[in-house]
Structure 1
Amino acid sequence: MLQNHFQYSSRSLAYARSGKFELALEDGKKIVELQPNWWEGYCRLGEAYKGLEKYEEAIVAYKRGLEFAPENHFLYSNRSLAYACLGKFELALEDAKKIVELRPDWWEGYSRLGDAYKGLQRHEEAINAYKREIELDPENHFLYSNRSLSYACLGKFELALEDGKKIVELRPDWWEGYCRLGEAYKGLEKYEEAIDAYKRGLEFDPENHFLYSNRSLSYACLGKFELAVEDAKKIVELQPDWLEGYFRLGDAYKGLKKDKEAINAYTRRLEFNPRNTELGRNLGQQSIENESDAIKLVPENHVLQSNQRSSNQVGLQ
């Protein structure tokens, strides 16, 4: 049996690092029971909640910890990340600025700052934050990955490519590096190179639906729609509730002039997001004017039927 709060803290951290967040949470609660005025207990509690994707509870825990250690940069860093996970990027930014004020020589503060700016679509500022971060930790592959993504968001694909190459140099066994590399090549319309990058990434993470999605799109850009369909089918097999998989599948079928299959793929998205407004645009690209025309082509599609009934009811109100 554990004797004190330090031992519970060590074990909670070990559980969290091994992904056993429920057990980490149990120990976190025990710590704050034994030592309710110790900041590290609330840090452990927050980490466990964050691992369980209970971000609001994590934020409450970090806030409580800051009451006992208001200058603790670790707590601000963890809370900034939790805010970002909730899409509260303005609050994430506030905490990130506090981190770099407290610890201007700590690379993770600039990582949080860059992530918050990226979430706010302020990519130039994100890049500046990542640049400072890289100065402090030039061998950290995560930093190059973040900056590569921001460059790509700005359409600066040559710079994104440079960072992508640096990632795979530093971590040749990391799938995300090849994803960044592929995105940069795709942005430069070098689709064959992009496909090679995604293929390499899949060697290290063969169940990664993001890689299949990006490769499916690259195949479609080359007019290789049969291969695009194969990858799209793999996406929906791996992630059946992910909207983008059905979008890729619909686009691939559309490229093959298989209108019926394309409509069924696009309308699968409506099952997860009934308010999706892109359906009409997708169908329109196939010279199908509206949902009524789509229903004539695929009368057995219950999602289209239901969607049209809902639209009619709204129109009558």
Structure 2
Amino acid sequence: MVLKLTNWDNNFAVKGDEEYQALVRTLNFIEGFGLLFVRCSPAEGERIITKVKEDIKDKSIEVLRLDKSVNNLYEIIEKLNNKESINFLFVTGLHSSFYEYEECKILNGWNSKDIYSYSWKGVPPVLINLNQQRESFRDNFNICFVFLLPQFAIKYFIQRAPDFFDWRSGMFEFPIDPETLKQETSRIFPAGDYEKYTTLTAEERNREIITIQELIVEDHQTVSLKSKLMLELGNLHFIEQDYKGAIYAYNEAIKIKNTFCEAWHNRGSALLILGQYEEALASFDHALKIQPDFDESWDNRGTILLILGRYEEAIASYDQALKIQPDDYELWNNRGNALFNLGRYEKAIASYDQALKIQPDKYEAWNNRGIALFNLEQYKKAIASYDQALKIQPDDYELWNNRGNALFNLGRYEKAIASYDQALRIQPDKYEAWNNRGNALFNLEQYEETVASFDQVLRIQPDNYKVWNNRGNALFNLEQYKEAVASYDQALRIQPDNHEAWNNRGNALFNLEQYKEAVASFDQALKIQPDNH
């Protein structure tokens, strides 16, 4: 992200007014074709053009302003009607042709090191064209070209248009003065609001990224503002989901200012998304050493500990965050999840209740509360929670399935089946609901429908031995003993040491009066469970 200057960069000419006078002397000296490069900001470039027009009145001076990406600069100049009479052609905005290229690199999967270390894998089309047509520029245009460019664009010429750049007649640098630099840098921070960045297009974000990079390497940049710029650079990459690039920028910000709490926090957030939990945890811990009341760091720290199964520590982190933000729904809900995983269902329900006082229209907390009540075997209350969730999210498969399970445990099988049917209308390929529905139908002694439900399960999960066994039981109750034996055989191919399937198979064979085979099946069952009489 910080651009390392080459030795050539350090040999720029004198600054300020002396630099401008050197440029004017060079312009007065050049007759015919020439190439001049001026490193400056766009605003400074316009001031230079205005002043040159005032100071050199005996020459024809024109300006070519490029406000969009171009591939062939030669063609554009060739089409100028007055090209024969132009002495000096100032070209601004050529760097616009590089913004789109920056975006292409990201879209093509370049890594951050390749993008920001100038280890180019390719070349912007306009530079290829300039390299190829440099002789045509010299032979066909009796013009001195003055390219006004920011530093990143100059580097493109050095790295990827060396043939064209080597013909330069002069190189001039106009660094931003300290006061203007401070103003330009400060402009970034109001726009640095995360939400505002999300509204930018990819190309607009690339422009912002390059602008920040330019400001970082300016001669008069302060250490304090440089660290803030690095933070903004990281935030832009974070929005682009370039988390490695974001971490690189946050690391640079921290190198400049080790006590930069926000950089530590954002670094942790990027690491969390990448699944680097221990390193993310360390980042949040750094942030909290600097700013102990940073509630987002406590929250994210709790989330990592929850993922890592360190539930007690997660609860402690959420409690710290809730001291600062007691009305945060997510904190109460996540705290409930940690308590749930510890089997502390009543306390989990109390957390979910707090979450729902804050946001009563959040179906996740109602669902979580229902699951906790289910585990406490408070099925009626669980159903009431699921019903609240379904008012908010009526098309949620899991809610309908969970509600069906609660009804099943209350022995209300017909209503349970109705819930499973709703679940299956939403996601017809979910084997759990088909299986649960089959079990409910079995308890209602609707065996043919039971077999049909289990067949749906086996279409999705053909190696589910329990379902093959249960299907065999339904067929047994239909007195379809041969089909039942076939189902038990399928179960035993998958799980050959299943005592229940061998025993059930023996019963079916017994009813088929195949007594020897029945005895053999019972013997297999007894080998597995010899104490089962």
Q: TM-score, normalised on structure 1?
A: 0.71
- Residues 1:250 and 2:452 are matched in the alignment: no
- Residues 1:206 and 2:398 are matched in the alignment: no
**Amino acid of the structure 2 residue aligned with 1:133:** A
Contact 1:100 1:109 survives alignment (8 Å): yes
How far did 1:200 drift? 0.8
What residue number does 1:29 align with?
A: 206
**Amino acid of the structure 2 residue aligned with 1:100:** L
Structure 1 residues 107-152: Cα deviation after superposition (integer angstroms, max 9, x where no partner): 1111111111111111111111111111121111211101111111
What residue number does 1:131 align with?
A: 319
How far did 1:154 drift? 0.8
Equivalent-residue separation in structure 2 for 1:74 and 1:238 (angstroms):
43
Contact 2:191 2:197 survives alignment (8 Å): no
What residue number does 1:41 align with?
A: 233
State the SS of the aligned residue for 1:256. Answer: helix
Equivalent-residue separation in structure 1 for 2:246 and 2:365 (angstroms):
32
Equivalent-residue separation in structure 1 for 2:211 and 2:484 (angstroms):
64
112-121 or 63-72: which moved more? 63-72
Structure 1 residues 174-211: Cα deviation after superposition (integer angstroms, max 9, x where no partner): 22221232122112111111111111122222233443
Contact 1:250 1:266 survives alignment (8 Å): no
- Residues 1:181 and 2:362 are matched in the alignment: no
Contact 2:471 2:484 survives alignment (8 Å): no
Equivalent-residue separation in structure 2 for 1:227 and 1:27 (angstroms):
55
Q: CA separation of 1:285/1:135 partners in 2, compared to 1, >3 Å: closer, same or farther?
A: farther
- Residues 1:140 and 2:343 are matched in the alignment: no
2:293 to 102, 105, 127: 105
Contact 1:80 1:91 survives alignment (8 Å): yes
Contact 2:197 2:205 survives alignment (8 Å): no
Structure with higher helix content: 1
Q: CA separation of 1:104/1:267 partners in 2, compared to 1, >3 Å: closer, same or farther?
A: farther
Structure 1 residues 45-97: Cα deviation after superposition (integer angstroms, max 9, x where no partner): 31342xxxxxxx3x213212213322444444445445444544333323332
How far did 1:220 drift? 3.0
Higher relative contact order (CA 8 A, sep 6+): 2
Q: CA separation of 1:266/1:62 partners in 2, compared to 1, >3 Å: closer, same or farther?
A: farther
May I ask how many residue pairs the two structures share in their alignment? 272
> Structure 1 unaligned runs (5+)?
50-56, 271-276, 298-303, 309-317
Equivalent-residue separation in structure 1 for 2:188 and 2:459 (angstroms):
54
Equivalent-residue separation in structure 2 for 1:232 and 1:44 (angstroms):
45
Equivalent positions of 1:274-285 (< 5 A) are 279-284=464-469
1:170 to 358, 365, 374: 358
1:92 to 250, 263, 280: 280
Contact 1:247 1:269 survives alignment (8 Å): no
Contact 1:93 1:113 survives alignment (8 Å): yes
Q: CA separation of 1:86/1:68 partners in 2, compared to 1, >3 Å: closer, same or farther?
A: closer
After TM superposition, the runs of 4+ consecutive aligned structure 1 residues lying more than 6 A away are none
Equivalent-residue separation in structure 2 for 1:259 and 1:219 (angstroms):
21
**Amino acid of the structure 2 residue aligned with 1:31:** E
Equivalent-residue separation in structure 2 for 1:96 and 1:235 (angstroms):
40
- Residues 1:67 and 2:251 are matched in the alignment: yes
**Amino acid of the structure 2 residue aligned with 1:168:** L
Equivalent-residue separation in structure 1 for 2:470 and 2:275 (angstroms):
33
- Residues 1:13 and 2:195 are matched in the alignment: yes
How far did 1:159 drift? 0.4
**Structure whose CA Rg is larger:** 2
> Structure 2 unaligned runs (5+)?
1-66, 68-183, 217-228, 443-449, 474-482, 495-533
**Amino acid of the structure 1 residue aligned with 2:406:** S
Equivalent-residue separation in structure 2 for 1:236 and 1:85 (angstroms):
33
103-112 or 64-73: which moved more? 64-73
State the SS of the aligned residue for 1:173. Answer: coil
Equivalent-residue separation in structure 1 for 2:426 and 2:287 (angstroms):
38
Contact 1:175 1:201 survives alignment (8 Å): yes
State the SS of the aligned residue for 1:69. Answer: helix
What residue number does 1:301 align with?
A: none
Structure with higher strand content: 2
What is the identity percentage for the equivalent residue pairs of Structure 1 and Structure 2?
22
Q: TM-score, normalised on structure 2?
A: 0.45
Equivalent-residue separation in structure 2 for 1:248 and 1:28 (angstroms):
46
Contact 1:8 1:31 survives alignment (8 Å): no
Contact 1:90 1:120 survives alignment (8 Å): no
